[in-house]
Structure 1
């Protein structure tokens, strides 16, 4: 149980989920010792088996979930592809648009393009606090 506690503290400090799986293995070894009176060899074997099984099963599932993109875009990713209304003329040097209810500085993606007030434009990208439109 002391080992499980030490691994649990290390898990909280480092945020490495593998340490949590090792802590569960240490708890299994403590249960074997307490419930069945297992000697040191049985405790070590139970620790290794449980820890290895958890790492082999849980880690690939966690990696698969970590690599998936969230289904709901948030922040500036949610603004890309949205339509906006030009408030002040937008060209390659700048302008203003109304995007998602807020006023944004904007510039045209194409250097030769200009958009007049009242036109609808599509937001292609966000660079800092400036929307790139076309």
Structure 2
């Protein structure tokens, strides 16, 4: 059995590469895809050097680390530069929520937007708790909001 595993280690690497590639479809972060490329490189090494399991692991790790360090940042940057790309924070602008506490420009307060609690401050004036608000901008970790029933100041 051990001889068969050593001779067919490429199959294990291929199964690992496919599993990582399919799982990448759930995350869409390119991390698992880079690891899958390392597993594929390990599988190719297993075809050429079937008995050198240490070499297969070394090649898989080196390729995966190189892909994570060199290719992944480039891919992410290119995707973020595509026309129409909006980050999750950009998508929050214009979202509606409810003031959980009183919100003022100076002291701030708390707002619930899309089921998440955010520290908030108002664009101008004080907003009473329970008022429906709209997100004007995101300033760091603070949502800048204004009452939805009023015109934007």
| TM-score calculated relative to the size of structure 2 | 0.43
Normalized per residue, the structure richer in strand is 1
